Amino acid sequence: AGDGDCGHTHARAAQAIREWVRARPPPAAPAQLLSALADLLLEKMGGSSGVLYGLFLTAAAQPLLNRSDLPTWADAMDAGIEAMQRYGGAAPGDRTMLDSLCAAAQALHALRSPGTDLLPVLTAAVESAEAAAEATRHMEAGAGRASYISSAQLQQPDPGAVAVAAVLRAILEGLRS
């Protein structure tokens, strides 16, 4: 969806995660898992994406320190997004990964309702993220690397938004299997 840099960065992250999981079992506690992933991505992923994912995961881990029920996962998503916005300076509508993340977060708010079934909510979140990623195709870039490029040259969806949707889709597929 871009010049290839975002894809290479995400491939590097996926390889690092694969090697990490093969070398040792990941932490079972959600907060420790997200914190460990943040450290790994900060070290191995590189680029602004690595920093932003690291910020997101570090902040998302905080609500999960004492609880890990479904409503707390929605809170974790919101905490991660808030950290990315605070430190990264972007907002939804800026044609960045936040467009996909925020769309998914809106759908994940359903986790706060009693008796919610995880997989249908997560499916809706992934579909929302994918639709939001596609919608970035027609946005003017307000932040990120795309903001330095003429909007006439931006004919693909934002690579970061596409990558976030792909990561969320992979999580969903992993949970289903």
Distance CA 158, CA 49 (A): 13
Whole-number pLDDT of residue 122: 97
Give the pLDDT confidence of 111-152 residue by residue, as tens digits. 999 999 999 999 999 999 999 999 998 877 555 555 445 444
What pTM did the predictor assign?
Answer: 0.88
SS3 labels along 12-35:
HHHHHHHHHHHHCCCCCCHHHHHH
Q: Looking at domain 5-176, what is its CATH homologous superfamily?
A: DhaL domain (1.25.40.340)
Helix axes 47-61, 70-88, angle to 10 degrees: 140
pLDDT tens, 47-93? 888 999 999 999 999 999 999 999 999 999 999 999 999 998 899 98
